[in-house]
Chains A and B, each alone.
Chain A
Amino acid sequence: MSAARTATRPSKRARRAAAGQAPVGTRPANRRPGGPGGGRLGRVGWLARPSLRHRPAAFLAAALTVFLGTVVIGPFATMIETALHSSGDDRLALLIMGGVVGGWGLVIVLFSLASTIGITVRQRTDEVVLLRTIGAAGAQVRSLVRGETLAMASVAAALGAVPAWFGARALLDALRSGEVVGDDVRFQGGALALLATVVATVLVARLAASVAVARASRAPVREAGAEQVREYRMPRWRLIAAATLLLYGLGFAVVTMTVTGHSADPYDAMMTAGNACVMVSIGLAVAAPGLLKRFAGRFRGRGAAAELALSNAARRSQLLSATLAPVIVLTGSSIGTLMLVDIDVRSMAGAGGADDVTTLLNVVVVVMISLFATIMVVNAWAAAVAHRRAELRRLWLVGARPRTVRASVVVESLVTGLLGAGLGVAAAATTVVPFSWARGEGLVPDGGLWVAPAVAAVAIGVAVVSATAAARRVRFSGGPTSG
């Protein structure tokens, strides 16, 4: 047995050291695993299967996001492929459908995908730290996480391509029967477009996994393992990305009021105004951790549940921000776009009616974004609560009633829901105010104001219901060591 071997003769390393040879580990330049003289690294791919089987819920949540992402983006990519095989107005209509509508879908899907994968990977920090403690190299841990994500995303995206293909046919049929494109436009295979969609989705999932595992796999092990409950500061890239999106979105609002609002074509204003709310929503969603910290830090809770919820929201804003971001995107882009359509229909009534195609496009955008963002809210709450199961149990062990613990999670969802809906309304205003002004209704539209509170209420409702459902799944009975 190996332990006995050391006793009888010194190890190879000891002999090397005794002989004055350079030890295998001392040359920082020699980092290539498996390179000559470097420490050998074992393959870790075999760990992926038992690991995935051990966490079916987190695995399914991530796979579902990838699957739905492919289903949403796929049809629009196919529209672009079909456009390349047609001509004239049909070609333009298809390109707008695929490029503009699909483009927004792409941005939102990729953002959600990155954040979901990020949560699922960060949930595994303990496992990563343990593997590194017993000697796994950072590269091994990274390749394990990347490999798992790659396998999961490839299967989920490939499965998603099937409904995406049917979705593409249905979308084209809808465009034909809505007379957006001529009846002679033929559906073009879609294989290339769907393949591109699958590849893009898988690559983004893999990139998100690499970013999420970077800290735990690179920092000194003891630091990587320390729980991050110190002062959270948003990384600079995040601030820059958020600021860029916000400024870009506000830029569209300004351009609408100063340039396109005076244009001869009434739809020029819509082209610019429509982008503003989506841009600003995503910008605010990127800045969500910082915003949540500021917001929750202002309140003092009454009662144990509220106090717990607000402290948690303020101190661990990165964790809860994953549930805040989709609420902002959901309310911001839905309210903005729906009111945009409403103003358009009203103001064009005298001029031969609103453009049906544009209305259809906008409605498709809203439906797509809302559905996706709703699923993301549910998903994010399931993941966030699953991540904290042990911690919630600990509260119970120190004497909190299960009701109080669950109530604190629901209060958290109210806080993020309210903040998200509020920020969403603000983001929507960047579309609604300029467009209303451009169409001569003044800064406040003449009608349809009920849309904002209605959508906001739905978004808050979705957040609260998903948090309640996730909290109900936490079990409090059993011994103190389990969980």
Chain B
Amino acid sequence: MDTMAVQVRRLARVYGDHQLGVRALDGVDLDFPRGSFTAVMGPSGSGKSTLLSCVAGLDRPTEGEVLVDGENVTFWDEDARSRLRRERIGFVFQSFHLMPYLTAAQNVALPLRLAGRKADPRLVRTLLGHVGLAERAGHLPGELSGGQQQRVAIARAFVASPAVVLADEPTGALDSATAKEILRLLRAAVTDLRQTIVMVTHDPVAASYADRVVFLVDGRVAGHMAHPTADAVAGQLAHLDQLVAAGSAVAR
């Protein structure tokens, strides 16, 4: 138990009517060990983002449970969920989602300030230095490039030493050179600092930075791939339908 940062058990999320509604997630079982970097892939509508939302308590699962640090957080109320996000979960989004009126340093410190903790300026500076933005601490997001904004968002995600960082298409809005820098930063956080990252992505190159790829199709886990390479992932994505057929055969 203790070695798992996040576990989901029989997780289901149904939108609309329970019987006829859309099953965005349909009985997903997954473990995310501490210090691992997992990429979640699948076609649009396969439930990738819903999975992240349920883990983060942004959305309530219809069935099943979510464990963070071995603790069942499924039935926590809204206040407890916001505490969960504040203290144990870091976020990186495709569109950065920085507060436009706060400087880079203030954005990084925000999760700590929300938690009523003193934001140690040295910690913020160190984190900004790690992502290569020590010189830009006083700039507003509007004055930074997309890649720089995403690096600020990464520093913000790690500031509270979360149990897991959830990244939703972190490179989706960036050019390929900038995307590589961002992926290297995430990889380094896992390798050097033993952080845990779960990243949703469409990009086989991005997925190749992870330790493991999980394929989702129609809200179900269709397969895993350890030590992925971009080519292998791309090949697998092209034949997801076969994976689904094999997966359901195994399940029966």
Q: Is A7 in contact with B85, judged by CB distance below 8 angstroms?
A: no
Identify the closest chain B residue to A34 (Cβ).
Answer: B116
In terms of DSSP, what is the predominant structure of the interface of chain A? helix
Surface stretch bound by A, among B154-162, B198-206, B228-236: B154-162
Residues in A with CB closer than 8 Å to B111 are 134-135
Give the CA-CA distance A135 to B84 in the complex, in Å: 7
Residue in B87, B102, B112 whose Cβ sees the most chain A Cβ within 10 Å = B87
Surface stretch bound by A, among B25-33, B69-77, B212-220: B69-77
Give the CA-CA distance A36 to B195 in the complex, in Å: 30
In the assembled complex, B62 has its CB within 8 A of some CB on chain A? no
Map CB proximity to A onto B40-84 as digits: 1 under 8 Å, 0 otherwise. 000000000000010011111000000001110100111111111
Residues in B with CB closer than 8 Å to A44 are 113-114
* Size of the chain A interface, CB-CB below 8 angstroms: 49
Q: Is A40 in contact with B193, judged by CB distance below 8 angstroms?
A: no
In the assembled complex, A53 has its CB within 8 A of some CB on chain B? yes
Q: Is B78 in contact with A138, judged by CB distance below 8 angstroms?
A: yes
In the assembled complex, B187 has its CB within 8 A of some CB on chain A? no
Give the CA-CA distance A53 to B140 in the complex, in Å: 13
Q: Is B58 in contact with A222, judged by CB distance below 8 angstroms?
A: yes
Q: Is B91 in contact with A25, judged by CB distance below 8 angstroms?
A: no
CB of B21, distance to nearest CB on chain A (Å)? 15
Give the CA-CA distance A25 to B57 in the complex, in Å: 12
Give the CA-CA distance A13 to B111 in the complex, in Å: 17
Q: Is B85 in contact with A135, judged by CB distance below 8 angstroms?
A: yes
Give the CA-CA distance A415 to B194 in the complex, in Å: 60
Give the CA-CA distance A221 to B100 in the complex, in Å: 20
Residue in A4, A41, A222 whose Cβ sees the most chain B Cβ within 10 Å = A222
Identify the closest chain A residue to B189 (Cβ).
Answer: A3
Give the CA-CA distance A51 to B100 in the complex, in Å: 9
Known: A41-B115, A134-B114, A135-B114. A3 touches B82 (CB 8 A): no
Residues in B with CB closer than 8 Å to A11 are 69, 161, 163
Residues in B with CB closer than 8 Å to A481 are 146
Q: Is A42 in contact with B84, judged by CB distance below 8 angstroms?
A: no
Residues in A with CB closer than 8 Å to B85 are 132-135
Residue in A5, A18, A130, A137 whose Cβ sees the most chain B Cβ within 10 Å = A137
Q: Is A24 in contact with B161, judged by CB distance below 8 angstroms?
A: no
Give the CA-CA distance A41 to B106 in the complex, in Å: 17
Interface residues of A in 118-165 (CB under 8 A from B): 127, 130-140
Map CB proximity to B onto A16-57 as digits: 1 under 8 Å, 0 otherwise. 011000011110100100100001111110110011011000
In the assembled complex, B151 has its CB within 8 A of some CB on chain A? no
Per a CB cutoff under 8 Å, which of A14, A34, A51, A139 touches B101?
Answer: A51
Q: Is B101 in contact with A220, judged by CB distance below 8 angstroms?
A: no
Known: A1-B127, A34-B116. A6 touches B161 (CB 8 A): yes
Give the CA-CA distance A134 to B112 in the complex, in Å: 10
Per a CB cutoff under 8 Å, which of B79, B88, B130, B193 touches A137?
Answer: B79
In the assembled complex, A218 has its CB within 8 A of some CB on chain B? yes
Per a CB cutoff under 8 Å, which of B69, B79, B114 touches A31?
Answer: B79
Give the CA-CA distance A40 to B110 in the complex, in Å: 14
Give the CA-CA distance A318 to B251 in the complex, in Å: 49
In the assembled complex, B86 has its CB within 8 A of some CB on chain A? yes
Per a CB cutoff under 8 Å, which of A3, A53, A131 touches B195?
Answer: A3
Per a CB cutoff under 8 Å, which of A1, A2, A54, A140 touches B114?
Answer: A140
Q: Is A130 in contact with B99, judged by CB distance below 8 angstroms?
A: yes
Q: Interface residues of B toward A: which range?
A: 35 or more
Residue in B59, B114, B193 whose Cβ sees the most chain A Cβ within 10 Å = B114
Q: Is A13 in contact with B69, judged by CB distance below 8 angstroms?
A: yes
Q: Is A23 in contact with B101, judged by CB distance below 8 angstroms?
A: no
Residues in B with CB closer than 8 Å to A139 are 79
Per a CB cutoff under 8 Å, which of B78, B100, B127 touches A220?
Answer: B78
Known: A17-B69, A34-B116, A40-B116. A134 touches B87 (CB 8 A): no
Residues in A with CB closer than 8 Å to B78 are 138, 218, 220
In the assembled complex, B2 has its CB within 8 A of some CB on chain A? yes
Q: Is B194 in contact with A7, judged by CB distance below 8 angstroms?
A: yes
Known: A1-B123, A34-B116. A137 touches B82 (CB 8 A): yes
Q: Is B101 in contact with A53, judged by CB distance below 8 angstroms?
A: yes
Residues in A with CB closer than 8 Å to B86 are 39, 134-137
Interface residues of B in 86-107 (CB under 8 A from A): 86-89, 91, 97, 99-102, 106
In the assembled complex, B117 has its CB within 8 A of some CB on chain A? yes
Residues in B with CB closer than 8 Å to A43 are 116
Tell me the A residues contacting B by CB distance below 8 Å: 1-7, 11, 13-14, 17-18, 23-26, 28, 31, 34, 39-44, 46-47, 50-51, 53-54, 127, 130-140, 218, 220-223, 481
Tell me the B residues contacting A by CB distance below 8 Å: 2, 35, 53, 56-60, 69-71, 73, 76-89, 91, 97, 99-102, 106, 110-117, 123, 126-127, 130, 146, 156, 158-161, 163, 189, 193-195
Known pairs A31-B79, A42-B112 / 12 extra A-B pairs, C-beta < 8 Å: A7-B195, A13-B87, A17-B70, A39-B86, A39-B115, A41-B114, A46-B113, A54-B100, A135-B86, A137-B86, A220-B59, A222-B53
10 A-B interface contacts by CB (under 8 A): A5-B161, A25-B80, A31-B79, A40-B115, A41-B116, A53-B101, A131-B114, A134-B114, A135-B114, A137-B83
The list of the 10 closest CB pairs from A to B, nearest first, reads: A135-B86, A54-B101, A42-B116, A25-B80, A40-B116, A135-B85, A39-B83, A7-B194, A222-B59, A221-B58
